[in-house]
Structure 1
Amino acid sequence: MLDYTRSDGVSVQASDRALRWVSEVLGPLRRIDFRTTRKWGFSVSTFALRSNESLGIGDLDDLRKCMDTLGQLGAEFCTINPLGLWSSRSPYEHYPYAPGSRILIDPVHVSMASAGIKATGPAPKSWKEARCRKIALIHRLVAENPQILRQDEFRKWATEGTTRAQREALFALERKSRGIEPHYDELNGMTDDELLGAGLGPYWWTQYEAERQLEIARMMMPVYGDLPVGVASPGLDAEMWPHSILTGANLGAPSDADHLKPQAWAVHGWDPRGLARDGYVPYRQTLETNLKFYSGLRVDHALALGRQYIVPIAGDTFDGVYVRSDTLALTELLVSHVSPDGMPYLYLELIGTPFDELEAFVSYHGLPRYRLLLADFDQRIDRKDLVALTNHDTPTLKGLWTRCDLAMQHSLGFHGDDAALNQLLERTMEYVGGAACFSEYQNALYERLSGCGADRVTAHLEDMLGMEYRLHYPGHAKGPDYQAPHPRTIEQWRSDGRVRELCEILSTRRGM
């Protein structure tokens, strides 16, 4: 390699003297252009997307349009928030990181137009309204056209394209929709023919249509999904695997610089002992199903592979305690799902205080990490890591610059640390060498992101659109929490000069 980029973003060219002596050792040099491996992508919440044709609630067709637009500007992959099935009894109106199931896609993400269903009436005002309308339309479609359940492509998908966990989950959903309470303890003993023979219905068709539309999107560019660390209860996963999910306590996080009070996330993690007794089958099935949906996975809060911070369901979050996980068993399952050609299918989010045993396993197996520059500018970046500036859990750059994010935290009762936020802003200013206005500040940070040593970097779409408020404030059932769509439609920001400028920075520094 005749040139490279240092961790601080400075480009270095090999000297003639260096070329002479290394050629004596290696023989005649052959220049190989590695720049094509340096890609950039974007992260987006499908729910927040809006287009002229959709119902005002982002769906998989909007995702395809978004990918088409940013793909023309140089993006080569995207990462999306979880698409899991919503729990109707979750304390959150809609929270992708508190799904009722991680093995089924929620109907709200299905595009009605792509499914061949004409939606009439005004655009829904909320996520819940959009979801109810879509479920009703799909049920009516299946009731009026039962022949669609007999189509060869659909039948082949049901018998060959679904995982065992999906078949059990869809069987249970269909039973519940008919007012029949499924006996979850009997599902494991049922054959595939028995699960399929119970009758394929609207929920099967919804899942089929969601996977078909997601596959169409993946034809444009790789799509990396997000695997939530926990599930809501009551919810389908908790009902199917009651002994493997710790429904008696909530997952959370102790206090830190961003949150002076410990967090309770209203989700439940794996029960270490119960999961071991079940032979880790639920964990393996969850991994396999999600890898079927996506080109790869970002494992959210991967520190839970070493230890989980749990808090009482009803009580003070200061009563939280750490519980160890079986790090060896869980990481070996992850390693077994890395592709044979060595390409990293899994990125581990290890943001927070590292757990020594987990760090040792991750380093030993060489598992790629999801890195967040805004969390630590001095961290060592590996070439195979996935690097971002911000994500759904951090302030947007505009919110950090204007301090609007801190004001929102105060309004939600989080009481964020003013001094910590100011220190973060000062550190980022030092990192980019100062900036007179937000555009300079944002451009400089994007240059640093693009120039880092990782092969893949990702930009947060909310940042690119200059949004001040993030879509999610961890541990809070109020606030935006994925209810607020993007301020502009895809058609409107296609011609946005700032979006184009940021894409150009990423493409130029990535060598495209």
Structure 2
Amino acid sequence: MTEVSTDALSEDLRALAATYGVATDFWDFHGEHRDVPAATVRAALAAMGVRAGSAEEILAERTRADLAPWRRVLPPCVVMRQGTEATVPVHVDDGMAVRAHVVLESAGIVELAQSDRWVEPRTIDGRSVGEATFILPDDLPLGWHEVVVVVGLDEESRAPLAVTPVTLSLPQLREDLGGRAWGLMAQLYSVRSHRSWGIGDFADLAELGALGAEVGADFLLINPVHAAEPSVPITPSPYLPATRRFVNPIYIRPEEVAEAAYLPNNQRTLLEWGAQSVQVMNTDASPLDRDEVWQEKKSALETIFAAGRSRSRQGEFDRFRTEQGQGLEDFALWCAARESFGSDQWPLTDGATSGAIAALRRQLAERVTFHCWLQWVADEQLARAQRVAREAGMRIGIMQDLAVGVHPDGADSWSMRHVLARGMSVGAPPDMYNQQGQDWSQPPWRPDALAEVGYAPVRDLVRTALRHAGALRVDHIMGLFRLWWIPHGCSAGEGTYVSYDHEAMVGVLALEAHRAGAVVIGEDLGTVEPWVRDYLSERGVLGTSVLWFEQEDARPRPPEDYRELVLATVTTHDLPPTAGYLAEEHVDLRHRLGLLTEPVERVRLAARIERERMLQGLRERFLLPEDPTERQIVEALHRYIAQTPAVLVGVSLADAVGERRAQNQPGTDTEYPNWKIPLADGAEQAVLVEDLPGNARFASLLTALTHELRERG
């Protein structure tokens, strides 16, 4: 572990850090004020291309930052809210004639009036520069537009303009529930059927959506389905993907690709043999083997791809490829290169020239096309799942989950390297549940670089995630406001917060959600300032309430005191299912893995006190019988959250079948089979999609929940 220098933070270094949003102090989870090590601050600045190694460099960088806006005609990007007048500063040689207009998405033009605001000219690089202020009217339409400034006769400068909604609106929900809705939450890879290839897929998702609609669910929240590596070994965590923009082809059901039906008999037989070799896993409750599944599934998909497509189908594929543009081509190139080259010969280095990359595209053209095709057929199957869920009666349908970052060696880390902070990882400082802090190993976005590219990466990934979804859960939504940056080689506790332009980040998110007609839910757990929750609520972004985290004076928060604009749940994927939590599995597991920094007896006592206080709260509301069973307690907890005003209520599928095993233990990698646990009951017997309609525990929990919701509605 690299030791961070403890040299003092000078006032100039603090001022420079503030310019770039790098915190030099913060309040920790225990309410104590802490200074950030100077070396951490310097490392964060260096990751944004800012030199702060000496007093001279710091002063030079402060001057550069101060003059930067005056050295450009327009800001790199303008984000405003519809219905609120805004202004845009324009810097030109003092005395030069200047005019401005907005080119709308619709190709219309809106001329801009100049404000009579006067700003003292400044001498910049030996020339006198003035600032003109133009008014952006409050009635500009929502969308992505462009500000155009014309200096003199014909010298143009342009900047993207995003006009974002003031607030997002909820869809029409169930009148019999008082305008509320409930839904299921599932780790898709864990939910298999008899026809799965050893892992849950998009065909299973369609079946689960139809089943959910039949029992009254309006949404189905799934884990992130972002793409992982194209070859084994595959990173199991859906929260550490190779890319957040494209989906994981491991979720494709090969038999449902249209061309599979036309394979010659011998190839069809090989496909069936491949399926049979992994379908024996479907009834096995031991950890999933993604590597074996993908090897069989990939071979089958290669056979289907090689069989070709009809003229009309090829046209559809070509249009998809054109629509997804350079982002898809770059991702497919990375996949093809990852298959073809080892780390010693890796061609997509930072030093790779455009000519070398173009040559590589030609060399790997067939595999690039294959990986583009995988995205197309995955997109088709995901679209079908959403269509089935909505047509079956769900008001929202599939709720996608957006991970907070990407794998440091993944596709996005290469294709988006110009907007990522090198030498840094995203994580979290120490807190009650992770007393050593967390390092998620993901490179953070550079806030300055995002602005320079007009927030296009944010726009593109949100737009793609919402192609076939009615809602989007944003993991760690505080990442749109600030992220905990950890210098490589340092512990998680030696990081610092770096701030983002949340008005722009949330605005872009809201704009894309509005265009898709989607609901947005922010995972706002942990250390979140109250004003952030208020801000998100004002923008129509729902929050998250997890029963075990909702406390007042160390006691369960009364249901009536919960926020209304939230998704309320009993548990989360970072805790064991409720049956396991009640049995103190979260304590036992952390103790076995050496993750506790306090004596296990003390942690266990705190868990028992927490549980007993919760049970007492249930008794006070007459939700528990005498000497309740585990099933009755789990149902009572769900009835408890149904008594809250929360507009959305989620039920974990693992809770509904009595599963005890955790999907993920934060702070571990290989020590625990994170993200590999298939759906099973309390006896560790696999539960398949076909089993759910006849599962007594599943039916009992949903009956209890929906009865309580109707009583409150």
Separation in structure 2 between the aligned mates of residue 86 and residue 333 of structure 1, nearest angstrom: 25
Q: 2:369: which partner in 1?
A: 201
Q: 1:52-451, aligned counterparts within 5 Å? A: 52-87=194-229, 93-115=235-257, 116=260, 118=272, 119-123=274-278, 126-145=289-308, 151-160=314-323, 162=324, 165-174=327-336, 181=347, 201-221=369-389, 222-339=397-514, 345-355=519-529, 358-376=532-550, 377-378=556-557, 380-415=561-596, 417-433=603-619, 435=624, 436=627, 437-451=629-643
Separation in structure 1 between the aligned mates of residue 663 and residue 576 of structure 2, nearest angstrom: 10
Separation in structure 2 between the aligned mates of residue 506 and residue 94 of structure 1, nearest angstrom: 32
Q: CA deviation at 1:182?
A: 5.9
Secondary structure, aligned partner of 2:405: coil
Q: CA deviation at 1:410?
A: 1.7
On the 8 A contact 1:142/1:149 being kept in 2, the answer is: no
On the 8 A contact 2:226/2:246 being kept in 1, the answer is: yes
What's the RMSD between the two structures over aligned residues? 3.2
Separation in structure 2 between the aligned mates of residue 91 and residue 317 of structure 1, nearest angstrom: 26
On the 8 A contact 2:537/2:565 being kept in 1, the answer is: no
Which of the pair has the greater relative contact order for Cα pairs under 8 Å at 6+ separation? 1
| Shift in CA distance, 475/468, structure 1 to aligned 2, threshold 3 Å | same
| Shift in CA distance, 33/482, structure 1 to aligned 2, threshold 3 Å | closer
On the 8 A contact 1:303/1:355 being kept in 2, the answer is: no
Separation in structure 2 between the aligned mates of residue 121 and residue 90 of structure 1, nearest angstrom: 20
| Shift in CA distance, 362/129, structure 1 to aligned 2, threshold 3 Å | same
Radius of gyration: which is bigger?
2
Separation in structure 1 between the aligned mates of residue 204 and residue 678 of structure 2, nearest angstrom: 12
Q: 1:486: which partner in 2?
A: 679
Q: How many percent identity over aligned positions? A: 24
| Shift in CA distance, 463/237, structure 1 to aligned 2, threshold 3 Å | same
Q: CA deviation at 1:382?
A: 4.3
On the 8 A contact 2:200/2:251 being kept in 1, the answer is: yes
Separation in structure 2 between the aligned mates of residue 152 and residue 90 of structure 1, nearest angstrom: 31
Secondary structure, aligned partner of 2:419: coil
Which stretch of structure 1 is more off in the superposition, 370-379 or 224-233?
370-379
What residue identity is the alignment partner of 1:323?
V
Separation in structure 2 between the aligned mates of residue 334 and residue 135 of structure 1, nearest angstrom: 34
Secondary structure, aligned partner of 2:548: coil
Q: TM-score, normalised by structure 2?
A: 0.61
Q: 1:20: which partner in 2?
A: none
On the 8 A contact 1:449/1:457 being kept in 2, the answer is: yes
| Shift in CA distance, 351/69, structure 1 to aligned 2, threshold 3 Å | same
Separation in structure 2 between the aligned mates of residue 265 and residue 84 of structure 1, nearest angstrom: 16
| Cα offsets for 1:453-488 (capped at 9, x unmatched) | 123211011111211111111231121211121222
| Shift in CA distance, 133/330, structure 1 to aligned 2, threshold 3 Å | same
On the 8 A contact 1:405/1:468 being kept in 2, the answer is: no
More strand, by proportion: 2
| Shift in CA distance, 374/92, structure 1 to aligned 2, threshold 3 Å | farther
| Shift in CA distance, 312/148, structure 1 to aligned 2, threshold 3 Å | farther
What residue identity is the alignment partner of 1:431?
G
Separation in structure 2 between the aligned mates of residue 396 and residue 120 of structure 1, nearest angstrom: 31
Q: CA deviation at 1:259?
A: 2.0
Q: CA deviation at 1:34?
A: 5.6
Q: CA deviation at 1:89?
A: 9.9
On the 8 A contact 1:60/1:217 being kept in 2, the answer is: yes
Any unmatched runs of 5+ in structure 1? Answer: 1-31
| Shift in CA distance, 318/387, structure 1 to aligned 2, threshold 3 Å | same
| Cα offsets for 1:101-138 (capped at 9, x unmatched) | 00111121111222235334421661122122222221
Separation in structure 1 between the aligned mates of residue 310 and residue 349 of structure 2, nearest angstrom: 29
Separation in structure 1 between the aligned mates of residue 307 and residue 231 of structure 2, nearest angstrom: 30
Which stretch of structure 1 is more off in the superposition, 118-127 or 107-116?
118-127
| Shift in CA distance, 465/132, structure 1 to aligned 2, threshold 3 Å | same
Q: TM-score, normalised by structure 1?
A: 0.83
| Cα offsets for 1:306-357 (capped at 9, x unmatched) | 221122333322322222222222122223234269x652111110111366
What residue identity is the alignment partner of 2:277?
P
Separation in structure 2 between the aligned mates of residue 491 and residue 105 of structure 1, nearest angstrom: 25
What residue identity is the alignment partner of 2:590?
Q
What residue identity is the alignment partner of 2:442?
V
Q: 2:144: which partner in 1?
A: none
On the 8 A contact 2:252/2:377 being kept in 1, the answer is: yes
What residue identity is the alignment partner of 2:388?
M
Secondary structure, aligned partner of 1:264: strand
| Cα offsets for 1:474-512 (capped at 9, x unmatched) | 231121211121222222343111100111122223339
Separation in structure 1 between the aligned mates of residue 317 and residue 588 of structure 2, nearest angstrom: 50
Q: CA deviation at 1:359?
A: 3.8
Which stretch of structure 1 is more off in the superposition, 350-359 or 256-265?
350-359
Secondary structure, aligned partner of 1:310: strand
On the 8 A contact 2:474/2:523 being kept in 1, the answer is: yes
Q: CA deviation at 1:99?
A: 0.4
Q: CA deviation at 1:178?
A: 6.4
On the 8 A contact 2:192/2:689 being kept in 1, the answer is: yes
On the 8 A contact 2:240/2:405 being kept in 1, the answer is: yes
| Shift in CA distance, 460/33, structure 1 to aligned 2, threshold 3 Å | closer
Separation in structure 1 between the aligned mates of residue 701 and residue 610 of structure 2, nearest angstrom: 22
Secondary structure, aligned partner of 1:85: coil
Q: CA deviation at 1:428?
A: 2.0
Q: 2:49: which partner in 1?
A: none
Secondary structure, aligned partner of 2:654: helix
